[in-house]
Structure 1
Amino acid sequence: MTGYFAWHELMVPDPEAAARFYGAVTGWGTRDASTPDQPYTLLTAGDRPAAGLLPLRPADMAKGALPGWIGHILVDDVDATLARATALGGVVHVPPRSVEIGRFAVLGDPQGAVFAIFAGTLPEPQPIGTPSHVGWNELAAGDWPAAFDFYAALFGWQRAEAVDIGPMGTYQTFGLGGPAMGGMFDKPAAIPRPFWCFYIAVGDIDAAGTRVAEAGGQVINGPMAAPGEAWVLQGLDPQGAFFALLGTRATP
């Protein structure tokens, strides 16, 4: 099925250090999947690929690229989707490129949040909440209704549950007609730009927060209660990449 987040990647200056950190926090293993042109590490949950890891080169950082995660949305045709995205007000950050397993491009939505599109072969996605897999995709938007309209027109997303989050307004979940795969809301003014955040399922959220600190990361928000008896926290890894965790709590 197209239109869903099919893959997530982390780009950092030191991939080996990142593999150690996320391995300690989430239990991920590693598998080398480099090509002659591109170093690449698969982050694995058991024998299943769960995410990708690749180096952020100094030349990219000199152009303003920062360590961080990006989500890939599966499409039938990268070039046709890119044309629709730009017609809807999106921008192109990385033009379409072909790799061994498919073709991808990196875009920005009209409000500046960055995402990727991919056509090709990717690992079968796991159900939401599967341990050591990304379990939620969240957009902190400048104007979430306008952002939703962009993604709905591009990928066919549908509104699911709308949750009142008090002074911050509405948290709108979305999907493709089945279970919700993410949510979006209007970011606080203190957050400088819209961005996508991805939540990794980890089991006990308090134990995971302890592992973050012990591995050299920083918890910057949470743990916080979320709908459905879930708990979440957000943090920075040792290289400054923003990440989030999704789990449970034995004693709320």
Structure 2
Amino acid sequence: MTQPDNAGGDGGDFIWYELAVPDPALVRDFYREVAGWSIDETAHDTGTVEYRMIRRADGGFAGGVLTITDQMAQGGMRPMWLGYIHHPDVDAAVQAMIKAGGTTLMPPSDMEGVGRIALLADPQAAPVYIMAPTPPAGDPDAKSDVFSYMTTGHVTWNELMTSDPAAAIALYGQLFGWSQEGSMNMGELGEYQFIQHGDDPIGAVMPLMPQMERSCWNFYIAVEDIDRAAEAVTARGGSVFGEPQEVPGGSFALNALDPAGAAIGFVGPRKE
């Protein structure tokens, strides 16, 4: 694989998360009960896409919901979560990703009042957005808080499952200034390698599991009680993959599918 030139600049934070589903009503009760999130009843309709905001219990934003149209579905779009990573020069980052072997799924474009964005598949085919956001009027130093490490109600962990962990770590590190420090041995499943942005943990990179069709990003929401979350998943039409598993630090992680079929994870303590 040819490594990209350094696209340079600041950035590197996960600044937004997007759930793509054919019908937001399928998942509204699920995320309210499991994560304490609410999905707006009224959509922003641009004429080509229908978009709703997701709001946390504290009133902040957790992300957005994109309604999958028939045309999108025919093009291969399926229910999934996608992450947006900040880069100050979207076009340069796109070219760097393409040079490394990635592909453009949606070319760079400007969204009024939002910023410049592009949707890519990295060289191992994991989809990801790159975004240079437009700060809110009157607040040029505004910072997204959709991601917050081990803070209840926020996305708290970003996990890349990939067919080539070493190449992915090198590429994302070069593009976004991430570092890789520490790992956990998963036996036959390989190494679970932790990634940081500056001094802050942001997630991990792991080998692609045999049952997975392609590389992908997985996201975890921090909850107050992992067992209550597991019960709420099934009660609200989702499904879980096994039992909650203990992770470093004493919390427990749970992988699930929401009622639309999008993969999502949860992490939190087990309360006696």
Same-fold status (TM-score > 0.5): yes
Answering whether residue 16 of structure 2 is matched by residue 7 of structure 1, we say: yes
More strand by share: 1
Distance 1:205 1:96 in 2: 39
Q: Deviations over 1:222-244 (max 9, x none)?
A: 31111111111111111111111
User: Of the candidates 73, 93, 104, which is equivalent to residue 85 of structure 2?
Assistant: 73
Name 2:244's counterpart in structure 1: 223
Distance in 2 (alpha carbons) for counterparts of 1:36 and 1:108: 25
Pair 1:162 & 2:183 matched: yes
- Confirm or deny that 1:50 pairs with 2:62: yes
2:164 and 2:178 map into 1 onto residues whose CA distance is 17
- Structure 2 counterparts to residues 57-96 of structure 1, below 5 A: 57-96=69-108
1:131 correspondence with 2:152: yes
Q: Which residue of 2 aligns with 1:36?
A: 46
Amino acid paired to 1:138:
E
Structure 2 matches for 1:202-241, cutoff 5 A?
Answer: 202-241=223-262
CA distance in 2, matches of 1:84, 1:142: 20
Distance in structure 1 (CA, Å) of the matches to 2:91 and 2:243: 40
Displacement of 1:108 after TM fit?
0.8
- Secondary structure of the 1:222 match is coil
Instruction: Determine helix, strand or coil for the equivalent of 2:244.
Output: strand
Uncovered stretches (5+) of structure 1, i.e. residues with no partner: none
CA distance in structure 1 between the partners assigned to 2:65 and 2:199 by the alignment: 29
Which has the higher mean CA deviation after the structures are superposed, 150-159 or 5-14? 150-159
Say whether the 8 Å CA contact 1:160–1:180 is kept in structure 2.
Answer: no
In 2, the alpha carbon distance for the partners of 1:82 and 1:49 equals: 27
Aligned structure 1 segments of 4 or more residues deviating by more than 3 angstroms: 30-33, 35-38
Match of 1:109 in 2: 122
Q: Give the distance between the partners of 2:251 and 2:26, measured in 1 at CA.
A: 29
Cα offsets for 1:137-186 (capped at 9, x unmatched): 00111121111111112112111222222222211111122121010111
Residue 35 of structure 1: how far off its partner (Å):
4.7
Alpha-carbon distance between aligned partners in 1 of 2:201 and 2:254, rounded to the nearest angstrom: 20
Asked if 1:24 corresponds to 2:33, the answer is yes
Q: Which residue of 2 aligns with 1:200?
A: 221
Aligned partner of 1:27: which letter?
Answer: G
Q: CA RMSD for the aligned pairs? A: 1.6
Distance (Å, rounded) in 2 between the aligned partners of 1:229 and 1:112: 33
Asked if 2 retains the 8 angstrom alpha-carbon contact of 1:19 and 1:43, the reply is: no
Distance (Å, rounded) in 1 between the aligned partners of 2:62 and 2:134: 14
Normalised to the residue count of structure 1, the TM-score between the two structures is 0.94
Counterpart-to-counterpart distance in 1, 2:193 and 2:92: 28
Corresponding position of 2:168: 147
Of 158-167 and 50-59, the range deviating more from structure 2: 158-167
SS of residue matched to 1:190: coil
How far 1:211 moved relative to its partner?
0.4
SS in 2 for 1:209: helix
Unaligned runs of 5+ in 2: 1-9, 136-142
| SS of 1:94 mapped into structure 2 | strand
Name 2:7's counterpart in structure 1.
Answer: none
Q: Structure 2: how far apart are the matches of 1:186 and 1:151?
A: 15
Give yes or no for contact 1:33–1:40 (8 Å, CA) kept in 2. Answer: yes
Q: 1:127 to 1:236 in 2, by over 3 A?
A: closer
